[in-house]
Each structure stands twice: as C-alpha cells, then as structure tokens.
C-alpha cells in the first residue's frame, strides 16, 4: 500500500488532497471521523463503502501513545484497502514530539499541525518547516490559523484568548507555509457549544471572506461541530469547507450503546453490534447523503409537478457498441421492469445519443414503473449506433466527475424536483425512521402556513426551532 495513488506529482498524488479537492469541485464536504479503536475504524470504512462515499479516518495523537503507532498503521492498511477512497489523518498534533512520530509513520496520508497556542509568527514558521518535511514523506498538512476555543475528549482544553482568523493573513499564511488545508477560527468552538449554540457564535461573514481569500486551491476544514445543524453545515460548505471533523456526534451513540449493552452480550457480539450502531450513524452523518450529482427526474413529469417517486431500483447498463464481449440481454429490458420499480439507466460516456424515448416510456407505464431517472441532459439521436443495453439488475456506476457513486440492485431511488437520491438497501429502514417525523412535521408546517401563520411560528411549534 502506498500513499502515492497515481503518476501525479505531490500534492496531487496524496489521498487526502484528492478526496478534499474532489469534494470542493463537486460542491460537497467529506466527514472526517475521530476514531479511538478498531470498532470506529471498521464502522467508518463499512459506512463509506456502503454509501459509495469517500471518508477520512482521523485519530488524535492520544492513540499514538495509548495503542502505539502500529494502531495508525492498522488504520492505514484497512483504509487503503477499502473499495472507496478513505484517507487516514492525524488530528491536532500539538506536541512537537507527536509531529516527529507522525512523520515516521509509513503511508500516513496527512496530519494536522496545531501550533495555535504559539504566537502567530512562530505558528507560521513552525508550520512552514513541518509542511516542507511532510512533503518529503508524501503527506499533506492541515494547519490551524488563529486559535479555536474549547476542548474535547482526546484533546487539551485551550484556555487562552480566542484569536479569529483574519482573511488577509489567511492567504499570506498559506502562501508562506505551503500547507494544503486550513482550519480557520471564526467563532467555532471545540467540544459542546455554550448557550445559543453554533448559530450564535459562528461569524459566517468571516468564514466567507476567508474562503474567498484562499479560493478553491485551499479547502477549509471545519472544527467544532458538536452540535451543528444540517443547515449550518451547508452554509459552511458553500463558503469553502470541504472537510468536516466529527467526533462526539458519532461517538456518543456508540459509547452509550456499549454502556447500556455491555453486561448483556459476550464481548465479540457487543463489538459487532456496536460497530453496526456507529456505522449507521456515520452513514446518516455523511454530508452528501446519497445525492446523485447531476441527475434529474425524467418521468412521469419532466422537471414539473410535485411528483415524488420512490421505489426499488431496476438498473439497466448500456455498453458501447464496440464492446462485443459484454453480455447481451434476453429480449428488451423494458419488458421486464418489475412493478413499482424505478428504472435507472447507465449509459457510457459521452452522453450524446438518446437511450430512452416515448415508446419505452409507454411500456414502462403499462408495467406500473414508478419512474425513470437518468443523467446529463436529453438527446434526440437514437443511441443504437453507439451503445446498447447489456445487463439489467447489476451494479452500475454514476457518471460523475465529482465523486464515485454506485447504484446497486436492492437500493431505493427517491426523486423529486430537487434531485435524485440513492438509498442503500441496508439503510432504507433507518432512513425512513429518520425521515418520517421530518415529513410529518413538514406537513403540519405547511398546513399552518396555509392558514396564514408565520414560518417562524410554525417552525417553532413543529420543528422545535
């Protein structure tokens, strides 16, 4: 296993760099989950693979000392063997000795240097030195500029004065140090937020100015996420955040579960069940949550109406006509659409020719298909001269430059005017549990608004905020 993924040169060949730049280009952010033991590492990898999403596993230097550097090597071996991009990152290296240890770990993808307790000039010089040495080892570096308040499990509490990141100096800092990612201080707090929450403390204007000063070359990292609403996460993403550090958000339910169940099961059973709990939470916490980039719902009504289609996916894989070795279907795929299925058509690039038209749609409706979704615009030329259907009900990949997503038989497709989401089969029940109360609350809000009540009023009553 090596940190060098391709023939690219540093830092483009670095796994953390690739994951965060793909996120930034694609307009999403990637969760970086603090793991403390093997359960956490297995849970993150399983969740990422099931969700077909990239992920970052991060550990505090605490683990370097408690379990030993071999534990990080275990995490790296597991992460790099995953079927989706998973990087391993050493979070908050505050002590110089920790940085020294990190730089010696073979194939570690990235580390965070936290010299924020030094004065700003010393922080800059130190980060420049570490960035230079990390480069020699193929690792990328995240630095904290300014000083983020608070503390959390595995991390010392900072009780010095908070220093907010100044947008002008952020650019100078990145240029002079050569670090690849920046964790700004804009009112975010480590550990639980005081009364009023992140909504009260975050200075979004400052975050926006920092994002603009740095541009897409330097993805931002969000620290202090306990708790942060989805809405606020989206605002952070819009302002250049590509890495979202998640610690207690995922860990608490895992430790609660272990605490409640430890006397009821043998250790092996307990660990397996606890990983499932953490895995489920990580999945739901993944910021882009199954959203299929670039897809629109095509039928029953193209880009109009309030139709929402939900159904088991029926995948149809098209292959280029030149691929004569690919399997041939039994009859026309359209005749074997299962009732209430959502047809997902995967066409090889470039998507110039149409693969679906009126007659197909008519037959699909006759068979009670819930709808058809496919990608990237609409064409008028029939596709027969360049591609053909090959297999149905097979795993297909979404054509996206932004990230890697796969649609598997058994998954559910949910589509409306806002876009198309793929829900992995094993997650469907859990997602419904989460979604149902939200949908119910939304219906009550809508009824209230129709009666003339204010949004603030109905949100307060039915959504609790």
Closer to Zn ion by Cβ: residue 89 or 223: 223
Count other C-beta atoms under 10 Å from residue 125's C-beta.
14
Q: Which stretch binds Zn ion (CB under 5 A): 54-62, 197-205, 217-225, 380-388?
A: 217-225
- For the bound state, the minimum distance from the C-beta of residue 410 to Zn ion, rounded and expressed in Å, comes to 38
Q: Which stretch binds Zn ion (CB under 5 A): 14-22, 223-231, 250-258, 323-331?
A: 223-231
Q: Considering the complex, what minimum distance in angstroms separates the CB of residue 211 from Zn ion?
A: 18
Size of the site for Zn ion (CB under 5 A): 1
| CB of 193 or CB of 412, closer to Zn ion | 193
Q: Are strands 55-59 and 86-93 parallel, antiparallel or unpaired?
A: parallel
Instruction: Determine, following the binding rule CB under 5 A, whether residue 52 of this chain makes contact with Zn ion.
Output: no
Minimum distance, C-beta of residue 40 to Zn ion, in the bound complex (Å): 16
Q: 234: how many CB neighbours lie within 10 A of its CB? A: 14
Burial 136-156 (b: 16+ CB within 10 A, else e): ebbbbbbbbbbbbbbebebbe
Q: Kindly write down the DSSP assignment for every residue of 10-48, as one continuous string.
A: TTTT-HHHHHHHHHHHHT--EEEEE--SHHHHHHHHHHH
Angle CA(208)–CA(212)–CA(216) in degrees, nearest 5? Answer: 115
Instruction: Please identify, among the stretches 76-84, 216-224, 230-238, 442-450, the one whose residues bind Zn ion according to the rule CB under 5 A.
Output: 216-224
Residue 238's CB is within 10 A of a number of other CB atoms, namely 13
Give the 3-state secondary structure of residue 360: helix
Q: Which range, of 29-37, 221-229, 294-302, 421-429, touches Zn ion by CB under 5 A?
A: 221-229
In the complex, the smallest distance separating the C-beta of residue 188 from Zn ion, rounded to whole angstroms, is 9
Distance CA 159, CA 286 (A): 31
Q: Which stretch binds Zn ion (CB under 5 A): 75-83, 220-228, 358-366, 442-450?
A: 220-228
CB 380 within 8 A of CB 351: no
Contact residues for 247 (Cβ-Cβ < 8 A; gap 6+): 33, 34, 152, 153, 154, 225, 226
Taking the least distance from each CB to Zn ion, the nearer of 147 and 223 is 223
Footprint on residues 125-184 left by Zn ion (CB under 5 A): none
Judge contact between 342 and 416, C-beta under 8 A. no
Query: Among residues 8, 38, 91, 119, which one is catalytic?
Result: 91
Please, are residues 44 and 57 in contact by the beta-carbon 8 Å criterion?
yes
Q: Which is nearer to Zn ion, 78 or 223 (CB)?
A: 223
Closest contact distance (angstroms) between CB of 150 and Zn ion is: 9
CA-CA distance, 37 to 337, in Å (whole number)?
Answer: 45
Residue 241 vs 431, nearer CB to Zn ion: 241
Return the residue of 46, 166, 223, 317 that touches Zn ion, per CB under 5 A. Answer: 223
Q: How far is the CB of 245 from Zn ion (least distance, A)?
A: 5
| CA diameter of the chain | 72
Whole-number minimum distance, CB 427 to Zn ion, in Å? Answer: 28
Window 384 to 443, contacts with Zn ion (CB under 5 A): none
For the question of residue 91 being annotated catalytic, the response is yes
If you search the block for the tokens 């659409």, which residue do you land on? 337
* Cβ nearer to Zn ion, comparing 166 with 223: 223
Catalytic residues: 91
Q: Which residues bind Zn ion (CB under 5 A)?
A: 223
């Amino acid at each position: 296993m090596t940190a060098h993924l391709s023939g690219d040169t540093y830092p483009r060949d670095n796994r953390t760099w690739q994951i965060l730049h793909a996120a930034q280009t694609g307009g999403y952010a990637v969760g970086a989950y603090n793991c403390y033991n093997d359960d956490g590492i297995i849970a993150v990898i399983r969740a990422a693979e099931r969700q077909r999403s990239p992920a970052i596993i991060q550990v505090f230097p605490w683990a370097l000392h408690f379990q030993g550097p071999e534990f990080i090597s275990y995490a790296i071996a597991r992460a790099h063997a995953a079927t989706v991009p998973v990087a391993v990152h050493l979070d908050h290296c505050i002590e110089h000795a920790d940085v020294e240890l990190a730089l010696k770990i073979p194939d570690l993808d990235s580390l965070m240097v936290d010299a924020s307790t030094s004065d700003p000039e010393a922080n800059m010089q130190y980060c420049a030195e570490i960035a230079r040495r990390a480069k020699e080892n193929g690792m990328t570096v995240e630095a904290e500029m300014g000083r983020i308040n608070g503390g959390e499990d595995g991390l010392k509490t900072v009780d010095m004065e908070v220093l907010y990141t100044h947008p002008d100096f952020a650019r100078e800092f990145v240029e002079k140090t050569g670090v690849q990612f920046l964790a700004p201080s804009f009112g975010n707090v480590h550990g639980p937020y005081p009364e009023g929450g992140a909504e009260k403390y975050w200075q979004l204007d400052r975050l926006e100015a920092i994002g603009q000063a740095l541009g897409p070359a330097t993805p931002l990292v969000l620290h202090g996420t306990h708790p942060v609403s989805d809405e606020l996460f989206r605002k952070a993403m819009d302002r250049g955040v590509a890495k979202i550090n998640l610690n207690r958000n995922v860990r608490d339910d895992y430790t609660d579960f272990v605490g409640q169940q430890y006397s009821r099961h043998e250790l092996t059973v307990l660990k397996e069940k606890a990983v499932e709990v953490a895995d489920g939470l990580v999945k739901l916490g993944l910021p882009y949550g199954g959203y299929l980039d670039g897809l629109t719902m095509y039928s029953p009504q193209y880009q109009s109406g309030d139709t929402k289609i939900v159904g088991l996916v029926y995948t149809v894989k098209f292959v280029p006509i030149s691929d004569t070795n690919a399997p041939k279907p039994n009859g026309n795929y359209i005749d074997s659409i299962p009732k209430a299925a959502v047809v997902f058509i995967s066409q090889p690039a470039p998507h110039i020719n149409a693969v679906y038209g009126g007659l197909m749609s008519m037959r699909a409706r006759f068979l009670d298909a819930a709808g058809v979704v496919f990608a990237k615009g609409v064409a008028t030329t029939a596709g027969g001269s360049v591609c053909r259907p090959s297999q149905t009900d097979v795993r297909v990949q979404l054509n996206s430059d932004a990230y890697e997503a796969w649609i598997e038989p058994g998954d559910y497709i949910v589509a409306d005017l806002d876009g198309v989401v793929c829900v992995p089969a094993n997650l469907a029940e859990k997602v419904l549990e989460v979604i149902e109360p939200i949908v119910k609350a939304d219906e009550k809000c809508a009824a209230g608004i129709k009666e003339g009540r204010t949004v603030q009023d109905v949100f307060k009553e039915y959504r609790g905020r």
